[in-house]
Amino acid sequence: MSELMLSVKNLVASYGQVDVLRGLDIEVIKGEVCVILGANGSGKTTTLRSICNMPIVNSSGQITLDGQDVSSSDTGLIVQKGVAHVPQGRGTFPELSTIDNLHLGAYVRKDNEVEDDIDRWFQMFPVLKERKDQAAGSLSGGEQQMLAVSRALMSRPKLLLLDEPSLGLAPLIIEDLFNTFEEINKNEGTTMLIVEQNANLALGIADNAYVLETGSIALSGPAAELKSDPAVQEAYLGA
């Protein structure tokens, strides 16, 4: 039986009086890539925020990370337990340099291998090494996304949450980025939960997927099956 990295049961979430999620059940298997698809306003971003228990959203339900119940844990503790979140819109510290952003990503660590990991992500994203002393805010959109992902990986997370990583990027950069996600998953064993509207690329690297509609799960299953589902093709794949 496959071991779960993340289990979400009966997740309900709202912003003030506005209900967004209506009892979601999601499972992410350890070592796999899981994708959440859905139109704008379907609740994808809120799902990731709720998993991290971010204070901007009111949520309830049971969230289990690697066998531990973190439903009532604050965001900082969830990060310490192995969750890294790359939010929509990059989320870098624009006034700090590239290398300072990477060091900040490792702030929860106590080991002496931080510099080795910086070198590793510089090898993965060579342009970041070229820009290591440059302010993050002066990088291109694609470079900022590479930096945001690398900074999240600096914490050596058990679970990497990615919110719309393709947003605002050119098609070739998006394709390279998703190829990198697949490589990181295979080589590092990093479990990923990706929220995405580019269904073709997302389903192409995913093991399993969920489709959200107005705060509820409309479809779920193996990514290959959803990719061939007529309803998914019509709604998300341009078929």
pLDDT in tens, 110-121: 899 999 999 999
The pLDDT of residue 106 = 94
- In the structure, what pLDDT confidence band is assigned to residue 199 with cuts at 50, 70 and 90? confident
Query: Quick one: which H or E segment has residue 129?
Result: helix 126-130
Cα–Cα distance between 150 and 148 in angstroms, integer? 6
pLDDT of 1 above 70: no
Query: Can you tell me which residue has the tokens 């950069």?
Result: 173
Query: Can you tell me which residue has the tokens 């998006």?
Result: 174
pLDDT of 32 above 90: yes
- In the structure, what pLDDT confidence band is assigned to residue 232 with cuts at 50, 70 and 90? confident
Domains of the chain (ranges; CATH) run 1-82+157-239 (3.40.50.300), 89-155 (no CATH)
Give the distance, in angstroms, between the CA of residue 161 and the centroid of all CA atoms in the same chain.
Answer: 2
Cα–Cα distance between 166 and 171 in angstroms, integer? 8
pLDDT of 40 above 80: yes
The pLDDT of residue 238 = 56
State the sign of the Cα–Cα–Cα–Cα dihedral 110, 63, 67, 162: negative
pLDDT of 81 above 80: yes
- The vertex-189 CA angle with 187 and 195, nearest 5°, equals 105
State the sign of the Cα–Cα–Cα–Cα dihedral 146, 89, 153, 188: negative
Classify residue 57 by its DSSP letter: S
Cα–Cα distance between 35 and 220 in angstroms, integer? 10
| Mean pLDDT across 120-139 | 95
pTM value is 0.93
Cα–Cα distance between 199 and 36 in angstroms, integer? 9
86 within 8 A of 163, measured Cβ to Cβ: yes
**Number of Cβ atoms within 10 Å of the Cβ of 22:** 15
| Mean pLDDT across 182-196 | 94
